Amino acid sequence: MEIVLQIRRFNPEKDKKPFWQPFRINADPTWKMLDCLMHIKNEMDGTLTFRKSCAHGICGSDAMKINGKSTLACQRLVRDYKAGKFVIEPLPGFPVIKDLVVDFDCFFDKLRKVLPWFINDDPAPADSERIQSPEQAEKILESVKCILCGSCTSSCPSAWMNADYLGPAALLKAYRFIADSRDRAAGERIRIVNDHDGAWRCHTIFNCVEACPKEINVTDHIARLRLEIFSRKI
């Protein structure tokens, strides 16, 4: 089938501002959106720039805005969209480097703020790993699925408006470690997210839930984070 892709292009060395470029291609309905972009890059215009790595929804590097919604280009098929027209843009709210490639520095800076690593100075048991019960694991099972693609943070109006807002991805990561029974730095992380630019900046708009390619209910985790802050303060 013939499809048209309107792609938002920008080359900082040549263009003063971004512009739309249409590409008409013959694509199979079972092609991934990433396959369409690869087809354009290989056969039509080698200057088209975008990130990709695994192409199977694991690495999270090809997040972009397709038909008005942040998503992974490798997880959406041509047939997922009714009309044969596609509008492809870089992730909103991030500075554009070139074409569909955006600068993730601000995203990872915010992630680092919530100490996204395991903290526990107690010596591990000599004969086994640190054991979790199924109930304890259940608490973090959904949040560990995050692949840090940036779809949620890029879709969040609160993050668009407030450059300092930690954003859904960082808050989800904070929850992941705070709720982990093996971690010992929950208090410190709670102090970090208990801020007007932390958990309280979320206005439950649910764009992050709609955008998440791993189907994580991020808003629910932020709500749980707030309840945790709430229970510790009282």
Partner 1 sequence: MDGIKYKWMAPFSEHFRYRFHTGMVAWGAHRLTGIGIVIFIVVHIWSISHLGSGADSFNTVMALYNTPLFKVGEIILYGTILFHALNGLRIISVDFFGGARYHKKLFWGLMAVGVILFLIGVWTMLNRAIPMNV
Binding site for partner 1 (CB under 8 A): 65, 67-69, 87, 89, 92-95, 103, 105-106, 109, 155, 157, 159-164, 203-207, 209-210, 217, 219-220, 223, 226-227
Q: How far is the CB of 224 from partner 1 (least distance, A)?
A: 8
Q: Select 10 or 38, whichever has its Cβ closest to partner 1.
A: 10
Shortest spacing between CB 53 and partner 1, in angstroms? 24
| Least CB distance to partner 1 at residue 89 (A) | 7
Smallest distance from the beta carbon of 148 to partner 1, in angstroms?
A: 17
First to last CA, the chain: 61
Q: Rounded CA gap, 72 and 150, in Å?
A: 10
Q: Are 192 and 198 in contact (CB under 8 A)?
A: yes
Nearest residue (CB) to partner 1, 178 versus 218: 218
Q: Which is nearer to partner 1, 38 or 201 (CB)?
A: 201
71 closest CA partner among 105, 26, 34: 34
**By the 8 A CB rule, do 175 and 142 touch?**
no
Contact 61, 51 (CB under 8 A): yes
Hey, which bits of the chain come out as E strands? 2-9, 19-26, 63-66, 69-72, 85-89, 96-98, 101-102
As measured in angstroms, the least distance from the Cβ of 57 to partner 1 is 20
Q: Which is nearer to partner 1, 118 or 230 (CB)?
A: 230
Q: Which is nearer to partner 1, 58 or 223 (CB)?
A: 223
